[in-house]
Structures are given as structure tokens and as C-alpha cells.
């Protein structure tokens, strides 16, 4: 079941325009705002554009774009400057806002994005119970190193979040560390998770994955660690360290099929070392298959 949303973070003019165009807020996954251009709405695989009553594209003027940005930042954009440098910021409710515009670089490092001219509002969705089939297998065969695989936008982060929540809440003696580099799993706002990630879960918010995994093992001594979107050499080396320390891993990775994993050099090393006990292949929204390593026939 999807958690009911509070839409107060959107200004009245945008909510009114969405309603006038017959777009249900509950269906919206992304709102893409571009200064002086049409407003794009994504509801799953369906794309819509806000229109005027005359059937023309409704243009987001510079004045309305500025009002939108001010509303999202609570009239204090300077508070989010550090997050702007990363290309996104997270607001109350766990909604993640990607930013585009003029990137200011000094000495090879991004110092700001100014002026901001586009916003991608990724609406927070929490679907409790979506990880039930994974938990059913765990109850029979035990919790193990688990890799969740899917193309972008198919819900792997949502699935990982519910897996963390359920294991944290219902499996005694299993403390979890959640490395949330992109602030998407816990959706922390001012340090507080906006999603339910379970009562036994510690969050390292905004921390690089490889560093966070090492920090968590040393400082938090978790039974299980969850990490979103692994892939690089540093991630793989940190994963090896975590496994050697006896900590179970829940991780996600982009890919269209299990054979895609074998085409990724660093991930293929983990596969050849038989690092994962479970594979979860997401084929569509709410459609996924849970397999043991043997069932997946990955080797």
C-alpha cells in the first residue's frame, strides 16, 4: 500500500494546474520543471504535459519558476547550497529534487549551481509490504547476501527500502546500517528519515557508499548493511571487506537481466567469487522474481 502523500510542498498554482489537466496527484512520480518551457509530468511510463484551456502547452514563466524554487526551499535557498553542489536536494516528506542550471566550478570542483533553471521533483513513494516475497524466502532459507537488479525507474529503491524496514522491525537480533548516499532510501530531512526504515536501522545519510560501508562496520557493528546502486571498483572492494567481517549485504544495481551483471567488470568479479546468495530480478512495477544463486544459474 502506498503511503498517503502530503502535497503542501507544491505551490497552489501548480496543484491547480495539475487538477485542471485531469492529473491525479497520487499517480505522479516525477514533475519536471524548466524555466520558460512546458511542464512535464511522468506517471509510470505515461508522459503528460500541462496544457492551457485552449489546448496549448502551459509555459512555466520565470516568475512562477522562482516562486516554485522558493516554495521548495522554504524561502531559504542558502540552506540547501551544499546539496545544490551535489545536483539535488531533499525536502520534508523525502521528496528528492534534482537541479539543473549553470554549474560553477573552481579548481576543478563544483562549488554551486547558479542560476538554477530546471527542477526534477521525484515524488516519494513508500510501498509497505512490497518485499513480502523476499521475506517469505528468507524465513525458509535464511537471510543472505542479496542483490536486487532492475532497469532504472522500476522500483528497486522502493523494494530495498521495504526489505530494510521489514528485516529491521521483525527479525530479532538483526541490526541494520543503511548507507544512503543519494538520500533516496531513508529520504532524510534535517537528519531525520522521512521513510519508515525500521526500528533497528542506523542511517549514514549523504555518505559515499564505499566510505560509508567501512565506517558502518567499524562504528556501528551491523548484522546487515543496505546500499543502493553499487558498481564501481571502490564499491566492490568495500563489499569484499564487509563480507569478510561477517556482515550480510542488501544491494541494488542497474541492469536489464542477470547476464547484464556479467558484462560489468567489477560486478562480475563479485559473481565469480560467489558473493551473493539471493538474486531479485525486477521485470516491471510490482513484478519481480526471487531466486537463490543456484536458481539464477548465474555461474
The reported pLDDT for the residue numbered 4 is 45
Report the alpha-carbon distance of residue 234 to residue 230 in Å, rounded: 9
How much helix, strand and coil, in percent to the nearest 5, is found in the chain? 30, 30, 40
Question: Who has greater pLDDT, 64 or 8?
Answer: 64
The reported pLDDT for the residue numbered 2 is 40
- Check pLDDT > 90 for residue 145: yes
pLDDT digit string (tens) for 199-237? 999 999 989 999 999 999 999 999 999 999 998 899 999
* Torsion over CA: 285, 253, 149, 136 (sign): negative
Report the alpha-carbon distance of residue 299 to residue 153 in Å, rounded: 27
Find the mean pLDDT for residues 127-133.
94
* Torsion over CA: 161, 167, 168, 170 (sign): positive
- Which domains are seen in the chain, by residue range? 12-122 (3.30.450.90), 132-296 (3.40.50.300)
pLDDT digit string (tens) for 1-48? 344 456 788 888 888 888 888 888 778 889 999 999 999 999 877 899
The reported pLDDT for the residue numbered 266 is 83
Find the mean pLDDT for residues 271-292.
89
Beta strands in the chain (DSSP E): 30-34, 40-43, 46-49, 88-90, 96-106, 109-122, 146-150, 176-180, 201-205, 224-227, 248-254, 278-284, 287-292
- Check pLDDT > 80 for residue 176: yes
Q: Which helix (H) or strand (E) holds 220?
A: helix 209-220
Find the mean pLDDT for residues 90-102.
89
Cell of 297: 544459474
The pLDDT mean for the chain works out to 89
The DSSP bridge partners found for residue 109 are 106
**Which whole-number Å values give the CA distances from 228 to 249, 259, 264, in the listed order?**
11, 20, 16
pLDDT band at 246 (very low <50, low <70, confident <90, very high): very high
Strands 96-106 and 88-90: antiparallel
The DSSP bridge partners found for residue 248 are 224
What pTM, to 2 d.p., does this model score? 0.81
The reported pLDDT for the residue numbered 1 is 35
Find the mean pLDDT for residues 145-162.
91
The reported pLDDT for the residue numbered 299 is 52
Find the mean pLDDT for residues 126-149.
93
The reported pLDDT for the residue numbered 6 is 67
- Check pLDDT > 60 for residue 279: yes
The DSSP bridge partners found for residue 264 are none
Question: Who has greater pLDDT, 132 or 4?
Answer: 132
The reported pLDDT for the residue numbered 3 is 42
Highest mean pLDDT pick, 79-93, 193-207, 278-292: 193-207
The reported pLDDT for the residue numbered 38 is 95
Find the mean pLDDT for residues 111-115.
87
Report the alpha-carbon distance of residue 141 to residue 148 in Å, rounded: 17
pLDDT band at 258 (very low <50, low <70, confident <90, very high): confident
Amino acid at each position: 500500500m502506498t503511503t498517503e502523500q502530503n502535497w503542501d510542498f507544491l505551490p497552489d498554482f501548480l496543484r491547480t494546474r495539475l487538477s485542471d489537466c485531469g492529473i491525479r496527484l497520487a499517480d505522479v512520480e516525477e514533475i519536471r520543471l524548466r524555466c520558460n518551457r512546458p511542464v512535464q509530468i511522468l506517471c509510470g511510463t505515461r508522459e503528460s504535459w500541462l496544457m492551457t484551456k485552449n489546448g496549448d502547452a502551459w509555459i512555466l514563466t520565470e516568475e512562477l519558476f522562482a516562486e516554485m524554487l522558493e516554495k521548495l526551499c522554504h524561502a531559504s535557498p542558502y540552506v540547501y547550497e551544499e546539496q545544490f553542489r551535489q545536483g539535488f536536494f531533499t525536502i520534508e516528506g523525502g521528496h528528492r529534487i534534482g537541479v539543473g542550471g549553470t554549474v560553477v566550478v573552481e579548481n576543478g570542483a563544483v562549488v554551486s549551481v547558479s542560476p538554477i533553471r530546471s527542477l526534477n521533483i521525484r515524488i516519494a513513494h513508500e510501498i509497505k509490504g512490497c518485499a513480502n516475497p523476499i521475506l517469505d524466502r528468507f524465513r525458509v532459507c535464511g537471510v543472505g547476501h542479496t542483490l536486487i537488479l532492475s532497469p532504472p525507474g522500476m522500483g528497486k529503491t522502493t523494494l530495498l527500502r521495504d526489505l530494510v524496514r521489514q528485516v529491521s522491525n521483525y527479525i530479532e537480533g538483526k541490526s541494520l546500517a543503511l548507507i544512503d548516499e543519494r538520500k533516496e532510501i531513508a529520504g532524510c530531512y534535517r537528519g531525520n528519515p522521512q521513510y519508515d526504515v525500521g526500528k533497528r536501522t542506523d542511517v549514514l545519510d549523504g555518505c559515499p557508499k564505499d566510505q560509508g560501508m567501512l565506517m558502518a562496520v567499524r562504528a556501528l557493528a551491523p548484522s546487515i548493511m543496505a546500499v543502493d546502486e553499487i558498481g564501481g571498483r571502490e564499491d566492490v572492494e568495500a563489499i569484499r571487506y564487509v563480507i569478510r567481517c561477517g556482515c550480510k549485504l542488501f544491494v541494488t544495481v542497474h541492469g536489464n537481466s542477470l547476464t547484464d551483471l556479467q558484462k560489468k567488470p567489477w560486478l562480475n568479479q563479485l559473481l565469480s567469487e560467489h558473493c551473493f546468495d539471493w538474486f531479485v530480478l525486477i521485470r516491471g512495477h510490482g513484478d519481480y522474481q526471487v531466486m537463490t544463486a543456484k536458481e539464477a544459474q548465474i555461474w
